[in-house]
């Protein structure tokens, strides 16, 4: 599903070069639920941004669902992002002026679906996260947990192959966080690959495996679900 | 996606309402200033008789005195002397020709409840009506026989006809003008070309001539020419002396069958001038000029330098407004950076973001155009209050109405280019993390 080989990301200013990722290797198989952990500044966010085609990498190779993304122009990267990826952020990132229906509608508009198809997908997605009755509500009228559910519905509406979640429970209390995690597990069980950055070790152990990053490199790999690993799903390259 | 972005644009008008209102107002004021000056410029400089303006010609035959004459110097007057007008009416190679002068007469209404009043009129020859496509509400131009006899016939404009006879067709009715009976042979339709290109020398009422009588009749009745009468020599008193003199007070037009016949007409006039020089009438060896409608309006400076300057100043003001709008749009769009980040993450390309924000700017432009239109109507009403002639020119037609929205839209789009481009440069990763 996602394979990065010898990937590096260097931020350059006129004075300093910062290596956010170096020799980074990871291979995530279709259907996996992988958590990414690591201390602040380890490169987790850079990895997620590159995985989500929101940032370019400096060198190496990145294959997303069979597509080598190196050299793709902005339009092609945007199309790939829209068709293959779904995003869930710590801060929910809903558009405050749009109601839930219109928020979930945003990625579907860029996909070019007709009105009927969009309506069906939006209703299904909101129903899946238990918010079908609140379509006309605005984000500010919802709790944090509900907002994150809307964000999940928005990510799901386009039927992405890979869901990228950046600390999706970071802004939620324990009860809400549990609810969101259960929802993600359901989504994964239905076949969607999930890559989740988290600081929470309790969440990490609930996934198939955990990739730990330090200094821009994969330092440790913890396998939680032998069946998937045995099937050759996870082959993250530990270089440390 | 256009409809989606347009809908978002409308919705976002309500976002930061104070900022949006300020932008719309600034744009509207700039547009109103330029459109109101443009409207006047448009009325004054537009082709008043499209399709024919290159076939209608004003001849200029300089019959001034030779003393102090400098070749190429601006002539004192560009009207024609009566003898030349008569000669050219009698013999010319053009399709039609007309001569005219402005005059005035007192009218005694047939109804006793309306007091007698002084009316401003025009005394042209019969060809005038066909040459300038003058529409008739009732009746028709006087006959050739009326013209030859200098008959007491009159054509009224609609306002005067309704004032005197109400809604009834007055053709055939009699009217006392300068204490003599005149028969109404026609009523003009709605015809009030602005500028009054057919008679650009000498003033007249802004609402157009109130009546028209044959030039022969006006001459037979020795009606005083209204407007300028220029005499380079002292002449004897009396009307006969005016007719025989070299004083210029007649305005003259030719109509050719095609624009290509201009050269033939020019050649004819040069021959005519040569003959008149031999006869000792024309003393200057000045070139014979022939102006079509647009050239004649240019020569007569229908669009004055003041008007042109006003238009430039108004456009300068519009640019100033645009610069302000750019600043406000930058502020508005920079506050939307998080939204851009989200949309980019969800699959919007830079091009999609560019389209969305540019269309949103266009919506602001349309709102500015709508308000600008109202302000322009107000400005034109104020300009029109200055004088009746300004009132006739300070008006908005469909063309100007469309232009108002076009200017506003273009202005907004131009102003929106930089802020929109900046919006496209938003780095989504930074925005998404900072939320």
Domain A2-230: top CATH class? alpha beta
Tell me what ipTM this predicted complex has. 0.90
A234: pLDDT confidence band, cut at 50, 70 and 90?
very low
Backbone angles phi, psi at A17, to 5 degrees: -115, 125
What DSSP string runs through B194-246? SS-GGG-SS---TT--SEE--HHHHHHTTPPPBS--B-SS---SSHHHHHHSS
Question: What's the confidence (pLDDT) of residue B46?
Answer: 80
Question: What's the confidence (pLDDT) of residue A231?
Answer: 44
Cα separation, B92 vs B99, in Å, equals: 13
B342/A106 Cβ within 8 A: yes
- Distance from CA of residue A86 to its chain's centroid? 6
Mean pLDDT over A97-116 rounds to 95
Percent helix, strand and coil across chain A, each to the nearest 5: 40, 25, 35
Question: What's the confidence (pLDDT) of residue B146?
Answer: 96
Question: What's the confidence (pLDDT) of residue A230?
Answer: 43
A154/B429 Cβ within 8 A: no
Does B215 contact chain A (CB < 8 Å)? Answer: no
Cα separation, B341 vs B336, in Å, equals: 9
Going from N- to C-terminal start, the domains of chain A cover 2-230
Q: Above 60 in pLDDT, residue B343?
A: yes
Angle of helix B337-345 relative to helix B398-424, nearest 10 degrees?
A: 70
A111/B347 Cβ within 8 A: yes
Contacts of B427 in chain A (CB under 8 A): 55
Q: Above 90 in pLDDT, residue B293?
A: yes
Question: What's the confidence (pLDDT) of residue A7?
Answer: 94
Question: What's the confidence (pLDDT) of residue B330?
Answer: 92
Which candidate from B1, B339, B347 shows the least CB-CB separation from A78? B347
Backbone angles phi, psi at A131, to 5 degrees: -125, 25
What does the H/E/C string look like for B64-133?
A: CCCCCCCCCCCCCCCCEEHHHHHHHHHCCCCCEEEEEEEEEEEEECCCCCCCCEEEEEEEECCHHHHHCC
Q: Above 60 in pLDDT, residue B145?
A: yes
Task: Report yes or no: A194 and A168 within 8 Å, Cβ to Cβ.
Answer: no
| Helix (H) or strand (E) segment spanning residue A223 | strand A217-223
Chain A interface disruption, residue of B347, B351, B359, B427, most A CBs within 10 A: B347
Angle of helix B337-345 relative to helix A100-111, nearest 10 degrees?
A: 60
Cα separation, B428 vs B352, in Å, equals: 14
Chain B interface disruption, residue of A97, A114, A119, A170, most B CBs within 10 A: A97
Task: Report yes or no: A236 and A38 within 8 Å, Cβ to Cβ.
Answer: no
Q: Above 70 in pLDDT, residue A107?
A: yes
Contacts of A92 in chain B (CB under 8 A): 435
B345/A78 Cβ within 8 A: no
Mean pLDDT over B329-358 rounds to 93
B347/A107 Cβ within 8 A: yes
Task: Report yes or no: B182 and B153 within 8 Å, Cβ to Cβ.
Answer: yes
Mean pLDDT over B244-270 rounds to 94
Q: Above 70 in pLDDT, residue A226?
A: no
Question: What's the confidence (pLDDT) of residue B434?
Answer: 56
Task: List the one residue out of B33, B34, B8, B28 whose CA is nearest residue B366.
Answer: B28
A52/B346 Cβ within 8 A: no
Task: Report yes or no: A65 and A41 within 8 Å, Cβ to Cβ.
Answer: no
What mean pLDDT, rounded, does chain B reach? Answer: 89
Asked if omega into A2 is within 30° of 0 (cis), the reply is: no
Question: What's the confidence (pLDDT) of residue B236?
Answer: 85
Q: What is the pLDDT of residues A158-194, one digit of tens each?
A: 999 999 999 888 888 888 888 889 989 999 999 999 9
What distance in Å separates residue B365's CA from the closest CA in chain A? 21
Helices (H), A112-225: 115-128, 144-157, 174-189, 201-204
Question: What's the confidence (pLDDT) of residue B435?
Answer: 52
Helices (H), chain A: 44-51, 74-84, 100-111, 115-128, 144-157, 174-189, 201-204, 226-230
Q: Above 80 in pLDDT, residue A220?
A: no
B12: pLDDT confidence band, cut at 50, 70 and 90?
confident
Task: List the one residue out of B171, B98, B156 whose CA is nearest residue B129.
Answer: B98
Least confident of B40-54, B91-105, B303-317, B391-405: B391-405
Contacts of A111 in chain B (CB under 8 A): 347
Best-predicted range by mean pLDDT (B124-138, B285-299, B333-347): B124-138
Question: What's the confidence (pLDDT) of residue A13?
Answer: 83
Which candidate from A45, A94, A97 shows the least CB-CB separation from B433? A45
Q: Give one word for B178, left, alpha or beta, with left for phi > 0 and alpha for psi -120 to 50.
A: left
Q: Above 50 in pLDDT, residue A236?
A: no
Cα separation, A193 vs A205, in Å, equals: 16
B388: pLDDT confidence band, cut at 50, 70 and 90?
low
Q: Above 90 in pLDDT, residue B110?
A: no
Which candidate from A79, A92, A109 shows the least CB-CB separation from B1? A109
- Least CA distance to A82: which residue of chain B? B347
Residue B382 contacts by C-beta under 8 Å, 6 or more apart in sequence? none
Cα separation, A57 vs B289, in Å, equals: 76
Q: What angle (nearest 5°) sits at the alpha carbon of residue B61, between those of residues B94 and B71? A: 135
Least confident of B191-205, B216-230, B377-391: B377-391
Question: What's the confidence (pLDDT) of residue B43?
Answer: 77
Contacts of A151 in chain B (CB under 8 A): none
What mean pLDDT, rounded, does chain A reach? Answer: 88
B305: pLDDT confidence band, cut at 50, 70 and 90?
confident
Task: List the one residue out of B109, B122, B117, B119 whose CA is nearest residue B162.
Answer: B109
Between the alpha carbon of residue B147 and those of residues B91, B142, B150, B217, the distances in Å are 17, 7, 5, 7
Task: Please count the residues of chain A.
Answer: 240
């Amino acid at each position: 599903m996602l394979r990065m080989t010898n990937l590096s990301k260097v931020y350059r200013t006129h004075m300093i070069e910062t290596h956010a990722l170096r020799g980074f290797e990871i291979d995530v198989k279709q259907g996996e639920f992988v958590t990414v952990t690591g201390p602040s500044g380890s490169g987790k966010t850079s990895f997620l941004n590159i995985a989500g085609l929101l940032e370019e990498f400096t060198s190496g190779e990145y294959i997303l669902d069979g597509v080598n993304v190196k050299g793709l122009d902005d339009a092609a990267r945007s199309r790939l992002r829209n068709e293959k990826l779904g995003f869930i952020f710590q801060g929910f990132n809903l558009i405050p002026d749009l109601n839930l229906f219109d928020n979930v509608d945003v990625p579907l508009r860029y996909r070019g679906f007709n009105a009927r198809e969009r309506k069906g997908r939006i209703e299904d997605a909101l129903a899946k996260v238990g918010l079908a009755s609140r379509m006309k509500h605005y984000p500010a009228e919802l709790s944090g947990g509900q907002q994150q559910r809307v964000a999940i519905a928005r990510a799901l509406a386009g039927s992405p192959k890979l869901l990228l979640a950046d600390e999706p429970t970071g802004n939620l209390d324990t009860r809400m966080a549990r609810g969101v995690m259960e929802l993600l597990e359901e989504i994964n069980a239905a076949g969607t690959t999930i890559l989740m950055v988290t600081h929470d070790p309790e969440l990490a152990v609930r996934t198939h495996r955990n990739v730990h990053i330090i200094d821009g490199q994969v330092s440790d790999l913890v396998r939680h679900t032998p069946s998937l690993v045995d099937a050759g799903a996870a082959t993250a390259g530990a270089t440390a | 996606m256009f409809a989606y972005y347009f809908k978002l644009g409308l919705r976002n008008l309500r976002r930061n309402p104070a900022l949006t209102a300020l932008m719309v107002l600034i744009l509207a004021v700039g547009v109103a200033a330029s459109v109101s000056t443009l409207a006047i410029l448009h009325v004054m400089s537009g082709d008043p008789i499209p399709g024919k303006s290159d076939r209608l010609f004003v001849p200029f035959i300089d019959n001034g005195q030779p003393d102090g004459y400098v070749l190429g110097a601006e002539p004192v007057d560009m009207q024609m002397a009566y003898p030349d007008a008569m000669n050219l009416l009698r013999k010319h190679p053009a399709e039609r020709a007309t001569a005219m002068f402005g005059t005035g007469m007192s009218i005694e209404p047939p109804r006793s409840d309306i007091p007698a009043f002084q009316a401003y009129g025009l005394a042209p020859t019969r060809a005038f009506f066909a040459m300038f496509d003058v529409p008739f509400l009732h009746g028709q131009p006087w006959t050739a026989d009326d013209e030859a006899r200098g008959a007491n016939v009159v054509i009224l404009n609609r306002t005067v006809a309704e004032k005197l006879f109400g809604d009834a067709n007055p053709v055939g009715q009699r009217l006392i003008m300068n204490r003599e009976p005149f028969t109404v042979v026609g009523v003009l339709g709605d015809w009030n070309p602005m500028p009054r290109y057919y008679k650009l020398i000498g003033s007249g009422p802004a609402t157009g001539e109130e009546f028209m009588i044959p030039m022969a009749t006006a001459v037979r009745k020795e009606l005083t020419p209204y407007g300028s009468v220029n005499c380079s020599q002292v002449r004897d008193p009396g009307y006969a002396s005016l007719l025989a003199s070299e004083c210029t007070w007649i305005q003259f037009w030719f109509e050719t069958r095609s624009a290509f016949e201009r050269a033939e007409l020019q050649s004819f006039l040069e021959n005519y001038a040569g003959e008149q020089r031999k006869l000792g009438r024309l003393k200057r060896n000045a070139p014979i000029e022939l102006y079509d409608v647009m050239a004649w309006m240019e020569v007569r400076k229908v669009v004055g330098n003041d008007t042109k300057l006003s238009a430039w100043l108004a456009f300068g003001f519009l640019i100033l407004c645009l610069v302000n709008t750019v600043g406000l749009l930058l502020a508005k769009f920079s506050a939307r950076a998080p939204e851009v980040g989200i949309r980019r993450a969800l699959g919007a390309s830079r091009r999609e973001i560019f389209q969305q924000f540019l269309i949103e700017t266009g919506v602001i432009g349309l709102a500015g155009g709508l308000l600008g239109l109202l302000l322009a109507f107000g400005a034109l009403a104020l300009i029109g209050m200055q004088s009746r002639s300004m009132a006739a020119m300070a008006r908005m037609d469909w063309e100007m109405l469309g232009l108002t929205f076009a200017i506003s839209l273009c202005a907004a789009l131009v102003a929106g280019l930089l802020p929109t481009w900046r919006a496209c440069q938003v780095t989504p990763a930074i925005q998404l993390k900072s939320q």
